[in-house]
Every structure is written in C-alpha cells, then in structure tokens.
A and B are shown apart, each in its own frame.
Chain A
Amino acid sequence: MRLTQLTSLIAALLVAVGCRMEAPERADAAAREANTGLRGMVLSEAPPRPDFVLTDARGDEFDFRAETDGYLTLLFFGYTYCPDVCPIHMSSIAEVKRDLGAKFARRVRVVFVTVDPARDTPERLRDWLGAFDPEFVGLFGPTDAVDAIQLGLGLPPAVVPDTAAADYMVGHGSPVIAFSADDRLVVRYPFGTRQEDWLHDLPILAGE
C-alpha cells in the first residue's frame, strides 16, 4: 500500500472514530432526552417533596416543604470536605444558575444537607456554599433524621467511618434530586451530569 493511501486510510479512520466518540454517560443522557425530554433520570414513581425540618447555617429552622413549595428545588446530600462529587455538582449548578439569569434564580432553591455534621460547622458550611452561590441553603440535622430523608428518596444513607483521623472520606449518594416547581416531576441527576445538561433541563423543570 502506498504511503499516501495509508495516510488517507488512517486519517479517515481517525475522523470516523473521532466523530463517533461519545462518552457512555453522554449517550445515556441523549437516550433519556429522547424518551422524556429531560437529560436527568425522571423517576416513574416520584416520591413526594419530602417533609422535614432541619437547621440552616444561620441556626434557624428550615421547613423544607414550606420553604421550597412552588420552587424548582435541587436537593443534595454531601459534605464540604468532599474532594470531587460535591464541589463539582455545586459548581456546575451555580454556573448554570448564573447563566439562566435573575428571573430563573428567583424560581429555584438549591438545598445542601450535610452528611458530615461533625466537621461541617455552620460557618464552614456557609462559607463553602457561599463560594459557589450565596443563595444556596446549607442544612444540618441529626444523623438519624438525615438518613431517614435519604432513604425516603431512595438514596443510601451516608457512611461516616469510625475514625479518629481528621481527613476521612464519607461515602454518600451522588445524585442531585430535582423537584419541579409544580411537583409533577422528580428527576435524579447522577454524578457525570454536565453543565449543558443542567442548562437544558432546569428551565423546563422551573416551568419556563
């Protein structure tokens, strides 16, 4: 085979492979969009918006159902020392919220419930969330109560290691749960959700 033919063949193969290449989670998101119009996983048996009261980072009681009623609500369970999933989710949501503007921001609530209250002090939680978006709400509560909320949403309770070390990791569920503003849809967003997916879905869930 001549060099030019070989070069052409390699180039054609590279182009073909390059055009086809798509990470598996992108293909999943595309399939979900084709089925439901949303890139997140729409829960067919949607749990109702949970009814619980926890404490926010200012020390005030936060009645989740009452405070978020009528808003598109994104609920996430994580911890501020989390090296990957938590900051990536929060950063992505904050970026997209800014993209969608003030009108959208008035229609959304982002609630972060810590699963590591031993280290996530109110000040730390407020500062950490504030670095993403000052409007994000951080909540604390007894471990039993937080576990029960997660179980009610089909999420595994967090696993905090029994250790004296200060730099332990907490095992916790990675999805963000979205409740549409009209409560008709509950959607799970796994880790791997891209900003373009949030940008696509959030206006729909907010009813815009």
Chain B
Amino acid sequence: MKKNDVILLAALIVAALAGFGGVSLYSKLSTREPQAVAYLDGEEQGRYPLSEDTTVEIRQTDGSYNILQIQNGKAEITAASCPDKVCVNHRPVGGQGESLVCLPNKMVVEIENGEELGIDAGTR
C-alpha cells in the first residue's frame, strides 16, 4: 500500500469513529436538566425545571384548572377543578417518565430527564 492509501483508509476510519462519537456525544449533551412538561389534550403548554420551586396554574378556556407545584425537585398537583381529584391525590413525581394525569381536564404532566427509578411500571 502506498502512503496515501494508508492515510485515506485511516482518515475514513477516523471519520466513521468521529461520526459515531459525535452522535453519542450529541445525545449526551442534549439531555437537559430534569423538568416537568405540561400538556392539555396532547398539546404542550409549558416546561418547568424541577430545580426551581414554582407554582403555575394550567387553566382552560372553560374555566377548568389544575395547579401545578414544583417543590424540592418534585412536581405535584395541589388543587384542581375536576370532580374526582385523582390528580390531587397523586403523590409528587420526579422520576424519569413518571406522570400526573387529570383525565376530566385532559391534563398531563410528564417528567423528562428525571432520575432513573429502575421500574418499568407501577401498580396502584
């Protein structure tokens, strides 16, 4: 093999490895801080980092509402207009993929980039 061929081959391998590394590095960098994402009927309403304590009202045009509170790295619904209050009764959540759901109001809060709990599903 000529010197140039070796260089070309090496360059190809380096390029392939760099592409690989780049992809995994990108996916690492793009995982951001843990946050609660609120949805109404499937549409995203807002993102709230779990690191900042806050209280927001998720209100709909018909007057129905859910109060989302972020405290100590966890999200919970502290009040709601729904008849069953299942969302209010739900424990605070902060784990990856955990969610708070208010079915009557079609409201969902989902945790993104949360701590891995090692649980595939919860029975309750």
Task: Answer whether A and B are interacting partners.
Answer: no
B interface, CB within 8 angstroms of A: none
A interface, CB within 8 angstroms of B: none
